[in-house]
Structure 1
Amino acid sequence: MPAIATTDTAVQTARSKYRWVVLSVIVLVYMLAAADRANIGIALPYIQKEFGATNAQAGLLVSAFFLFYSLGQIPAGFLLSRVGVRLVAPVSIGLTSVVTLLIGTAHNFGLLKIYRSALGIAEAALPLSMLSTINRWFPAREKGLATGAFLSAAKMGAVIAPPIGAALIMFDGWRTMFFAFAIPGILMALIWWWLVPNDPRSGQRVNEAEATYIEDQTKSETGVARVHKNFGALDKLLRYKHTTPLATSRSVFASWNIWGCGLGYLLMTGVVNVLLAWLPKYLGEVKHFELMQIGFVASLPFAGGVLGNIVGGWLSDTVLDRRRKPTMMISAVATCLMMVALVYAPNDLLSVSLLLFGTGFLLNIGYSSFSVYSMGVTTRTTYPVAASLVNSAGQAGGAMAPLITGMLLDSYSWTAVFLFLGACSLAALMFVLTIHEPVDLSEQQAAR
């Protein structure tokens, strides 16, 4: 026994940790991409003023990105399954930067809509590339945390975009803001190509011990089969059961588990994107904050979201024994309550700041679980297709909700907007309740 323990310790010591370098690149790239899409919020009042756009037209401008982002998901999923991440991801990163620069050159509202649509197409392959990379580079016991870190990058992008964007607008106008945001992506495309291979075994910086650890899907590090925790009544509510891995694209498209997850994600992404695009306008028109105050406060839901994604990933991986539905349900219920709280939010800076930070934290506790869930019911080959379907649904919600918000503002008020978002959260809960929780997310990956 002592000899075995010594050997295990030696293996642990010898194992490289390059997957965390890969995750760091993913986080940095997605943070920059998220900033490229989030900067429209701080620029929107100035764009409306320059082009004389109504709220509904502004909502359409925001939604144009998410509509084409949604439409690009499924083609991108099939492209990734055929070509691989190493080629698709850098091209997508570079195109995102080019189109961001073009937005700053637009001199009429029609061109702005075209460029925002093109941004959606350019960026469509990015989240799927990163989720596929996580699926290949991390063992099941770490996928929730890794996905939470990945999705927290989107929130970090939304954290940095408003204050930096506000400073750039004050310095030289909204066009300069887009020019500045376009620059880092070109460098990151080259870094991805250099540092992130398609899978661990094709990377020279990964040793055999780490590659074996990543591929170990059904046993714990001690070589003993994992014992599942029993949560009793909660498992009945979750519909916790063995599921057959979806081994073909046809089975993915026929699975209610995938569709139910996607529809829930559609509704929750709608809430996120309304906050992303419309919150600066709300803070200026309703709360009467100054521009730099708006830049700071508008970033707080996404600062809370960074923490929420990471805590939620850890919670579902460890405390909940890789169950993903509970955190989805927590987010749906809590978000509904927070939308009602925003209706009665006071006007002072501190209260609004704390409320928005809490909203972002609770909304994102289960946000990463919508992406991780599909890993547990598919194989590694079919996961990109399932992820593209779920993400396509999510971004469809991201396209519709900002447009509906603009229409509600033209006809009603912000109270109607927050009640609409609360209703979306409750509807998401209903869809999540209808899908199964797979018994062991790691076992589903055994079929390749």
Structure 2
Amino acid sequence: MAARVFLLFTLGYFLSYFYRSANAVLARDLSQELGLGPAELGFMTSLFYLAFAAAQLPLGGLLDRVGPRTVTPALLLVAALGSVVFGLAQSFPVLALGRALIGVGMAAALMGSLKAFSLWFPKNYATVSTLLVGLGATGGLVAATPLALLKETLGWRGVFLLGALVVVLVALAIYLGVRNTPPGVPWPKAREEGGFGEVLRNGRLLKVAFLAFAFTGCFLALQTLWAGGYAYHLGLTALEVGNLLFLYSGGAVLGFLVSGYLADRFGTARVLLFAALFFALGLALLLLKLLVLAYLFLGFFGAFNILTLTQARELVPSHLVGRGTTLVNLFGIGGTFLLQWGIGVAVGALGYGAAFLGLLGLLFLALFLYLPLLQNSG
């Protein structure tokens, strides 16, 4: 049963990573068929993150009260609806609605998994949860060349309609194939006091959340847009840019896979701190134009940002795991949206050098505030 729980929730997160990454391959088709300009295309694509972030706080309470067995499949059905709307869209507003519905629907793919794993795999939670993310992140690789080939066969609309069917099947499999807790383990009872008020008064958790804002935000803002934009700015060809981005994404998959093992062995706070410092080194290497090493560092060590979510689980009682982890995830996804936009503003006004120096400053501020957690950890 434990293996089935892991496999089915991993499939759900795989779909989430696939959908968040798909527009990069389909951008030209969407622009040509529906007449979208760059601003419309960028706004529509970012709606996934906006909707995803907006769902996090109510999602946390639902996961703590109802459990992931019901909440995750229910929201996946919303994503399936969004995929159908997107695939049938004939105008920008309908396309944007579909993208937003997909974002809401995928909001529980990771958080529901982490809530379930906190009860199914309490002794090796960091290892199992980061294994989930590493395997799920292969959805981003499938949304590259394999998606381009599938699009040539089915068309982009056919891809989204077929995807909706797959999402429905995975939702059904999760609902029928998993339990909220292992046999004999009771569901954690919510207390009368606490809730989000207790989570928001947790100073250590807020430090982790701010680190997620800076670390996760930088990692995803670069991976999903500006790592490619910078490489093009330096005059590289499309193939050379693609190779660098594949190095970034491949390094991230490997980083996700090993980060949990290292956290379980050496301590989450210690591993997270050192990974963030090496990620900062990757930013410095970008400024020095040592691109291969920079993209490898940014991908591999940037993936360790997922440990902010595993540490959130360590800092809250069991009945608040859903709310604690979704709060931290809200900061991370919110950081992605704000930093992706902010980098663009900085690049337009001051250039890439100033933008990357700004990211370094933000990251070092977050690490400075985070240091007390390292001192308090075992």
Deviations 1:47-103 (A, max 9, x none): 45653523x554433332212211111101111222221111111222223313322
Report sequence identity in percent.
22
- Number of equivalences: 369
* Number of the residue aligned with 1:330: 274
2:337 is the alignment partner of 1:399: yes
Instruction: Please give the alpha-carbon distance, in whole angstroms, between the structure 2 residues aligned to 1:169 and 1:344.
Output: 38
Q: Quote the residue 1:51 is aligned against.
A: 35
Structure number with larger C-alpha Rg: 1
Q: Cα–Cα, structure 1 residues 172 and 342, in superposed 2: closer, same or farther, change >3 Å?
A: farther
Letter matched to residue 357 of structure 1: L
2:194 corresponding residue in structure 1? 248
Give runs of aligned pairs for residues 138-287 of structure 1, distance below 5 A: 138-140=121-123, 142-171=124-153, 174-201=156-183, 248-249=194-195, 250-278=197-225, 279-280=227-228, 286-287=235-236
Alignment partner of 1:81 out of 64, 72, 75: 64
TM-score normalised by length of structure 2: 0.86
Q: How does 1:374-393 map to 2 (within 5 A)?
A: 374-393=312-331
Q: Does structure 1 conserve the Cα–Cα contact (< 8 Å) formed by 2:135 and 2:257?
A: no
Alpha-carbon spacing, 1:44–1:167, altered in 2? closer, same or farther (3 Å): same
Verify: 1:358 aligned to 2:312, yes or no.
no
2:278 maps to amino acid: A
**Which digits, 9 at most, give the CA deviation of each residue in 1:352-391, with x for residues without a partner?**
4x64333211112x32321111222222111111112111
Q: 2:114 maps to what in 1?
A: 131
Task: Give runs of aligned pairs for residues 100-139 of structure 1, distance below 5 A.
Answer: 100-139=83-122
**Offset of residue 131 of structure 1:** 0.7
Residue of 304, 314, 324 corresponding to 2:261: 314
CA RMSD of aligned residues (A): 2.9
Contact 1:85/1:198, CA 8 A, preserved across alignment = yes
The Cα shift of 1:180 comes to 4.4
Rate the CA distance shift 1:105–1:280 in 2: closer, same or farther, 3 A: farther
In structure 2, relative to structure 1, the CA distance for the partners of 1:24 and 1:178 (3 Å cut) is same
Greater shift in the superposed pair: 257-266 or 299-308: 299-308
Contact 1:335–1:422, Cα closer than 8 Å, also in 2: no
- Give distance in 2, aligned partners of 1:180 and 1:39: 14
Return the letter of the residue paired with 2:48: F
- Is the contact between residue 221 and residue 337 of structure 2 (CA under 8 Å) also seen in structure 1? no
Counterpart-to-counterpart distance in 1, 2:43 and 2:375: 36
Deviates more, 1:191-200 or 1:94-103: 94-103
Question: TM-score when scaled to structure 1?
Answer: 0.73
Alignment-mate amino acid for residue 210 of structure 2: L
Contact 1:38 1:277 in 2 (8 A): yes
Structure 1: segments with no counterpart, 5+ residues = 1-17, 203-210, 216-246, 441-448
**Structure 2 residue identity aligned to 1:387:** T
CA change 1:411–1:164 in 2 (3 A) is: farther
Higher relative contact order (CA 8 A, sep 6+): 1
Shift of 1:113: 2.8
Q: Is the 8 A contact 1:148 1:313 kept in 2?
A: yes
Listed one character per residue, the Cα deviations across residues 31-54 of structure 1 (whole Å, up to 9, x for unaligned) are 121111111223335545653523
Matched, 1:26 2:9: yes
Say which SS state the counterpart of residue 104 (structure 1) adopts.
helix
For 1:182 and 1:299, the matched residues in 2 are separated by 27
Contact preservation (8 Å) 2:47, 2:96 = yes
Aligned residues of 1:76 and 1:125 also touching (Cα < 8 A): yes
CA separation of 1:281 and 1:355: change in aligned 2, threshold 3 A: same
Contact kept? 2:12, 2:109, Cα under 8 Å: no
For the 8 Å contact 1:260–1:434, the answer to whether it is kept is no
